[in-house]
Amino acid sequence: MPQRTVLALLFDGVQSLDVTGPVEVFSGASLLDPRAGYRIRTASLDGGPVRTSSGLTVVPDGPLATAPRPHTLLVPGGEGTRRPDPALIGWLREHGPGAERLVSVCTGSLLLAEAGLLDGRRATSHWMLCEAFADKYPAVRVEPDPIYVRDGHIATSAGVTAGIDLALALVEEDLGREIALQVARHLVVFLRRPGNQAQFSAQLAAQTAQREPLREVQQFITEHPAEDLSVPELARRARLSPRHFARAFQAETGVSPGRYVERVRVEHARRLLEDSSAGVSQISRACGYGTPEALRRAFVRTLGQPPAEYRRRFGDHPAP
């Protein structure tokens, strides 16, 4: 029976769910299947207690200096990643490459980047921080949309619950889909989200303009995805010139009008693919795309997979 030590790093300001979420997945798998061999260990720099970002005190198993070599090294995020201890970064730089799997949750990817472990690799983090992440670490190929990214033996995930999705994927890789599905059921979560499902609706919710004319335009876009949503038409609704509208929209929301419209339309199509039995041609028209091919291109750009594949994975209704 293989021994798979899962070592979770602890530090002051750690996000507790980034640790406990994945740990519950691995420990749950061991309870369901004795062959799993997951051995959970936690460690801080000096072995002393740490205070989480929510104020909880957590006592680790010991110091990093005496921690066992891990099969899976779990690097969580939290407020403590803003000004990390140089000694922690040094330990990661030295010992991270020795782990069979190096896994980060949320802003834990910033610690990996600071240690130089993500140079030349694809990675993600919480979507709100991805732009700053890319600016600070230009050697990292930051992907803001996926909920997790695998690049070789390194896996990075987005905010909090994405760590659970990633851990379930790793259990499925180790033990098979049935065990991962049982763990998901036990935790009352879905075993449905692959890494390339986007950090999507949260982005749209956060990209809300402050100025009333622009908010009205955004509401119109959301409620009428099949309408003419060109910049000239949206500018007319906002009572602005097209040039002024495009600049103001970008400044208020952080994305261009065209990109925002595409995200809304793809989100609408995504929900129809999940919850209805409508054909792709019908969904294309309902979302403002003239042809299924236009929808397919937008879907691949945004979610990394075509509509048919998305429906196969996530749909509740078979395609007609």
CATH number of residue 105's parent domain: 3.40.50.880
Quick check: 187 and 24 in contact, CB under 8 A?
yes
| 239 shares its domain with 112 | no
297 domain-assigned: yes
Whole-angstrom distance, CA of residue 29 vs CA of residue 89: 30
170 domain-assigned: yes
Region 236-256: mean pLDDT is 91
| 156 shares its domain with 299 | no
Q: Within 13 A of 93's CA, how many CA atoms are on the CB side?
A: 11
Whole-angstrom distance, CA of residue 23 vs CA of residue 87: 24
| 164 shares its domain with 95 | yes
Region 286-294: mean pLDDT is 93
| 277 shares its domain with 163 | no
48 domain-assigned: yes
| 134 shares its domain with 90 | yes
218 domain-assigned: yes
319 domain-assigned: no
Share of the chain above pLDDT 90, in %: 61
320 domain-assigned: no
| 150 shares its domain with 101 | yes
* End-of-domain residue from the set 123, 152, 187: 187
Share of the chain above pLDDT 70, in %: 90
The model's pLDDT over 152-201, given as tens digits with 9 standing for 90+, comes to 999 999 877 889 989 998 998 999 888 888 888 777 654 545 444 545 45
| 143 shares its domain with 208 | no
- Given a cut of 60, is residue 84 above it in pLDDT? yes
| 168 shares its domain with 19 | yes
Say which of 73, 106, 115, 171 is annotated catalytic. Answer: 106
Q: Within 13 A of 49's CA, how many CA atoms are on the CB side?
A: 7
| 142 shares its domain with 206 | no
Q: DSSP labels for 6-75?
A: EEEE--TTB-HHHHHHHHHHHHHHHHH-GGG-EEEEEEESSS--EE-TTS-EE--SEEGGGPPPPSEEEE
CATH number, residue 296: 1.10.10.60
Whole-angstrom distance, CA of residue 59 vs CA of residue 89: 21
Q: Catalytic annotation on 106?
A: yes
Domain that holds residue 174: 4-187
* End-of-domain residue from the set 187, 212, 242: 187
* End-of-domain residue from the set 187, 218, 246: 187
Model pTM above 0.85: no
| 171 shares its domain with 235 | no
Whole-angstrom distance, CA of residue 7 vs CA of residue 65: 12
Tally of structural domains, the chain = 2
The model's pLDDT over 212-242, given as tens digits with 9 standing for 90+, comes to 788 889 888 988 899 999 999 999 999 999 9
196 domain-assigned: no
Report the pLDDT value the prediction gives residue 12, as an integer from 0 to 100: 96
Whole-angstrom distance, CA of residue 287 vs CA of residue 72: 42
195 domain-assigned: no
| 222 shares its domain with 128 | no
| 226 shares its domain with 148 | no
